[in-house]
Amino acid sequence: MGLNKVGILTGGGDCPGLNPAIRAAVAYLVRHGIKVIGIHDGWRGLLTEEVTPLGVESVAGIIGQGGTILGTSRTNPLKVEGDLAKVIKSIKAQGLDAIIAIGGDDTLSVAAGLWERGVPVVGVPKTMDNDIEETDYCFGFDTAVTVAVEAVERLRDTARSHRRIMVLEVMGRYTGWVALWTGMASGADWILIPEVPLDLEEMCENLHRIWDKRRYALVVTSEGLDMGKTGGAGAERDAFGHEALQKRGVGQWVADQIHDRTGVETRASVIGHIQRGGAPTTFDRILATRLGIGAAELIRQGRFG
């Protein structure tokens, strides 16, 4: 097929590495004589027809920037009847021959829906949670863990000074990659992840032994930890049906359990969206660049879906 114009968008949660991926795809396509249109705010940009032409000059220097110059949203065209048809109509109206969709499970589920309806799409996997099927690493993950490890190091100073047990809650949704790597790299005394059943008694016995020896201890917990209770049907959810995990209060709940069972003063901190921002690490810049070029190459080869 003849390629004249390609659209590119970023959807879902932002993470470091999005801009390097955009930069690489744009530079590669423009070099091969293909125009690139930046679609603003994920799939919403095709519903509102908010787009901007992208050239090599417009992406110069963004390789070290966090976030995404295109903006993002959790808009789900599969949820509202008629929205997917509007997206397809918009793609045709803009004269786009193909779409590069950079996102996680949710963004790529929409991409898959479009592909099933005949729209040429290539997906680029990204997420700081590192939970996309068929991937070893997603860009954004390395940066998020690096930031979280620094947070644990700072908490260690406070824990040691005040003779406390400190709990850090990190993001990651229902997978424990971020918590596991953060805890391992920082030398935490206990790590709680969704994949391993919670044993409060064993954890608290271990933490009390450690506290007795050095008068402080560190715990890293994933926000998706199974506490034996959920938000239920009334929990706040996004357009893709996901519960707002930061409102579950996992870190504070864990800290309360430790205090009640050990009698040791325990405090919780939530790093939250701080993990998402800032300049991407070298690893994330290179991985995102490789994936951006890879997506552009697939489009030139006519390999979609």
Burial of 35 (0-12, 13-18, 19+ CB in 10 A): middle
Helix then strand then coil, in percent of the chain rounded to 5, is 45, 15, 40
> Cα–Cα distance between 167 and 145 in angstroms, integer?
16
* Angle value at C-alpha 128, between 125 and 132, nearest 5 degrees: 40
168/181 Cα distance (integer angstroms): 13
In terms of Cα–Cα distance, which of 127, 14, 21, 121 is closest to 71? 14
Tokens at 119, concatenated = 């729209």
How is residue 89 written in tokens?
A: 């109509």
Q: What is the end-to-end Cα distance of the chain in Å, rounded?
A: 15
Q: Could you confirm whether 129 is annotated as catalytic?
A: yes
Which element (helix H / strand E) includes 169? strand 165-170
The residues facing 99 across adjacent strands are 7, 121
What the block records as the tokens of 288 is 């995102």
> What does DSSP assign to residue 126?
B
- Minimal CA–CA distance to 141: which of 285, 289, 23? 285
Among 41, 106, 129, 131, the one annotated catalytic:
129
Q: List the catalytic residues.
A: 129
